[in-house]
Structure 1
Amino acid sequence: MADPRDSRADALAAQVAEARASRRALAIAGGNTKAFLGEAPAEPAAQRLDLRAHRGIVSYDCGELVITARAGTPLAEIEAALAAEGQCLAFEPPHYGAAATLGGTIAAGVSGPSRPYAGAARDFVLGARIINGRGEILRFGGEVMKNVAGYDLSRLMVGAFGTLGVLLEVSLKVLPAPRFTRTQMFESDQATAIERFSAWGLRPWPITAAYWENGAAYVRLSGARSSVAAAMEALGGETLADADAFWADAREHRRTFFTRSDPPLWRLSVAPATPPLDLDGETAVDWGGAQRWLVSDAPAKTIRDAVAAHGGHASVHGNISGGGITPRQHPMPAALLRLQQRLKQSMDPAGILNRGRLCSQF
């Protein structure tokens, strides 16, 4: 009997090939929970390429720590299957909504609080099955780390917002879930918290998240009970009750800091030890200092210049009002833009896939 996933994949590939022949733009969509990320589509009226029906876990080898699932598979379904075996997605991806899918998560390249300590989404991608802009079904990588050779095209799909190909399946490395977790809380100003996060990161402590907001710093410790207990004793502070809910709310942007409707919310990426930036607005610090969230009405150029002075970049993450800010993403350096354009030309020569979502130039 024919595998129904192949017929669905073939149907999607045929739709892409037809769009290429007619030069019609396609908007790749799944749960649509991350549509607010990246740039606004260059062609809002593009034909929708719906991946939600292409779903299901293809294989899961808990002994080898590898799971392969179709792009339309709900992220919650994957996490439930892993949790039943005492395993997890170590990069702790935010959902931003109950309908979140694996494909959208990988295409957006999002990672949660554990990112500096466990790795980013890209680090866990072993292989991918995609449709390129010609309507061809291709497979890159595999289900073991050693399969990667030459250009790692499967990982190029991470954070490309669907501009290089339509994700059909993704193989991911998974890890055992932490056996024991505690979160310590400290009163602190932002500058002191950043200094402490940097110093604590050099110690042999099982830190898996570090966050600061509104005068309080939070450090999560995960691992063996003995190592967590030793780190708690060395750190001091107050043990946070209901810490799982705290980290889930921070990851999913359900905390009050993130839920206001105005002004814009900016994501600032800087070196972890960068001191507080002199910018108007309110700040939250994540990833041990490497990711800063800024709620500010300051001009986009002011914010981006301040961040660029420290070698970082700034992108609008949400809460846009008054017509929006363009570009939403930090402008690419000329050399990087040329490389991205060459990749786009190679993978999607007609430029039909998610046109404008990563960059307005393609």
Structure 2
Amino acid sequence: MESLAWLKQRVLDAAQHQIPLRLRGSGSKDFYGEMARGDLLDVSVHQGILRYEPTELVVTAKAGTPLALLEQTLAECRQMLAFEPPHFGAKATVGGMVAAGLSGPRRAASGAVRDFVLGMSLLDSKAELLRFGGEVMKNVAGYDLSRLNVGALGTLGLIVEVSLKVWPMPAASETLWIAMDAANAIEHLNRWAAEPWPLSASAWVDGHLILRLEGAQAAVSEAANRWTVIEWGGALRWVLCSNDDASIREQVRAIGGHASLFRSLDKRHPVFTPLAPAMMALQRRIKREFDPLGIFNPGRLMPSLDVNA
């Protein structure tokens, strides 16, 4: 049986018998989010690159396609996924990448996963194939529902196909390692924040600032000779802490942000910051519209979002 037909049948059977499904690609991100309940549905059987137009900077792949294969195919044409998705495993899949919505070091410079998803196809809880977006850079047909599924951890439906915008690889790349204390780094941050330097990734670790410069050779060379700056993207921050998650969440909430628990040995702490009542009500409405039977990854994102919660 063809892989898509097999997936449809599994979803249909689950819906008819009210059996929850635990959607899984390679399992490389099983550590992320809460533990889903239900029968395992292996999406990795549905793989392959369907269409790739290097001149159009667009690629479409099945959800079970190995991420490494996609990146290798793009690299052969000197192209890449600009958001630099983390793999967390040799067999990470395209569908898992989109479902988790995790971006890598280039996120602050280029954008997040959702910014590069042009369209997708997914199976709803009736095993009907829904298509959102397309394979064009601009879509004016209304709200882009494909983005709604980025980071939803498979709770709204089974992603089966994704179209992505890709970028050309930079002509030059150079990494700088600079000894610098935090106060000095912040001072340089404020001084250089408005400058158009070709910074694509950065980290501050144990008194050292690490910068990656990418772009035209002349721009990279100039920046490498003059740069002294600190991470300032503002889109993503990492904190290694003991167990005071409530304090961290409160501090972040006070300045308009939110904190998510990426990894922890202590499973008692919630992964995601609880939503405000109005936002939770909206999220539940979305969940009921996409998955009224509650069969897709129950408990995976937030247990309180489950249809039967």
In structure 1, what is the Cα distance between the partners aligned to 2:193 and 2:268? 35
Aligned positions of 1:150-299 closer than 5 A: 150-197=142-189, 199-235=191-227, 288-299=233-244
C-alpha contact (below 8 Å) 1:182/1:228 kept by paired residues: yes
Deviations 1:277-307 (A, max 9, x none): xxxxxxxx96745433222223321221122
Aligned partner of residue 163 in structure 1, secondary structure: coil
CA distance in 1: counterparts of 2:254 and 2:164, whole angstroms: 36
Query: Residues of 2 paired with 1:39 and 1:190: CA distance?
Result: 34
Name the aligned partner's letter for residue 213 of structure 1: V
Distance between the aligned counterparts of 1:12 and 1:196, measured in 2?
Answer: 53
Match of 1:77 among 69, 78, 91: 69
Distance in structure 2 (CA, Å) of the matches to 1:202 and 1:339: 37
Structure 1 gap ranges (5+): 238-284
User: Runs of at least 4 residues of structure 1 off by over 4 A?
Assistant: none
SS at match of 1:312: coil
Residue 173 (structure 1) shift: 0.3
Separation of aligned partners in 1, 2:169 and 2:130: 32
Any unmatched runs of 5+ in structure 2?
none
Question: Percent of aligned positions with the same letter in both sequences?
Answer: 47
Aligned partner of 1:23 among 12, 18, 27:
18
Q: Distance in 2 between matches of 1:164 and 1:99?
A: 23
Determine helix, strand or coil for the equivalent of 1:172.
strand
Q: Indicate if the aligned counterparts of 1:211 and 1:288 stay in contact, CA closer than 8 A.
A: no
More off after superposition, 221-230 vs 77-86: 221-230
Opposite residue 39 of structure 1, the aligned amino acid is E
Q: Identify if the C-alpha distance between structure 1 residues 291 and 325 changes in structure 2 by more than 3 Å, giving closer, same or farther.
A: farther
1:292 alignment partner, SS class: coil
Which amino acid in the other structure matches residue 359 of structure 1? M
Q: Report the aligned-residue RMSD.
A: 1.8
Match of 1:352 among 280, 284, 295: 295
CA drift at 1:130: 0.6
CA distance in 1, matches of 2:117, 2:254: 32
Distance 1:137 1:326, change over 3 A: same
The letter of the residue matching 2:33 is G
Q: Distance in 2 between the 1:71 and 1:301 partners? A: 36
- Cross-structure match for 2:256: 311
Q: Please, what TM-score do these two structures have when normalized by structure 1?
A: 0.80
Task: Tell me how far apart the structure 2 counterparts of residues 147 and 175 of structure 1 sit (CA, whole Å).
Answer: 19
Report the count of equivalent residues.
Answer: 305
Residue 340 of structure 1 aligns with an amino acid whose one-letter code is Q
